[in-house]
Amino acid sequence: MTASEPLQDMIERTTQRVLRALGQYAAGYEPPPPPPSPPDVSQMSPETLAAMIDHTLLKPDATAQRITEFCQEGLDYRFGAVCVHPSWVEPCIHTLSGSPVRVTSVVGFPLGMTLPEVKQHEAKALIALGVAELDMVLNIGALKSGNFCLVWNDIHMVAEAVHQREALLKVILETGYLTDEEKVAACIIARTAGADFVKTATGLGPGGATEADIRLMRRTVGGALGVKAAGGIRTLDDAYRMILAGANRIGTSSGIRIIQEARRRAAAPGASAQR
């Protein structure tokens, strides 16, 4: 985008470029419905906020004991989901069975550079174990090379596997590596390939979630997809800013701190959430 080019013009120009490159893969594409209005965070209860949080533990040195504690935190705080590495999915499914807390895992994490067939196999194995949602990293190098058909196929193969079991697919863009045009391109490809959400970052790459990126992603996908903010969200006000920018899911390892702060504010005399 040039300094003088309006944002919407850049989105439309990039969208058309991507659709031309995808050809038949983009058949039937229609402009997205308008984005939903963000909720009034001043009226949001801690319970409503907790249900929007993917409580995340993706540290490589997490132990079995820590995973057990982590699942209990998901139950105690009523998070929407817990997100763990594939090797920890089975014990999490066992612990959280029958509860409203979903189990989420990751595919092609954290670099996104495995083969589409490998990502699809990983997705099938995780879906068979019972995960409700998968967060996959797209092929960042292919996107930046302009190989949009490869990126589409990469996502589509995982989406097919995920949707066979009525699970959800979130596509991680790793926005810290991308220009604004590439972020728009990634959103359009993810949508046409069958994703349910677009997500900012792994938390392990450069940068994390920003309000500007969330606004751009929401403006690009409108109301057609969910938008997950992840990477560097550590405080209640961080979470509120992302929600007001257009996120409807928050991925964070600081969920307990965020909900504890939300509860303190809700309990304060004359309480209203601070924007």
Q: Which of 119, 170, 183, 228 is catalytic?
A: 228
DSSP string, 137-154: E--HHHHHTT-HHHHHHH
Tokens matching residue 115: 């083969």
Furthest CA-CA distance within the chain: 59
Q: Which of 135, 154, 213, 238 is catalytic?
A: 135
Q: Exposed, middle or buried, 260 (CB in 10 Å: 0-12/13-18/19+)?
A: middle
Q: Which residues contact 131 (CB under 8 A, 6 or more apart)?
A: 89, 93, 103, 104, 105, 167
Task: For residue 124, indicate whether it is catalytic.
Answer: no
Task: For residue 135, indicate whether it is catalytic.
Answer: yes
Residue 88 and residue 60 in contact, taking contact as beta carbons nearer than 8 Å = no
Q: Region of 14 please: left (phi>0), alpha (psi -120 to 50) or beta.
A: alpha
Residue 88 and residue 58 in contact, taking contact as beta carbons nearer than 8 Å = no
Q: Report which secondary-structure segment, H or E, holds 128.
A: helix 116-129
Instruction: Please calculate the CA angle 161-220-127 and round it to the nearest 5 degrees.
Output: 15
Q: Which of 119, 170, 183, 199 is catalytic?
A: 199
Q: How far apart are CA 135 and CA 196, in angstroms?
A: 10
Q: Catalytic site residues? A: 135, 199, 228
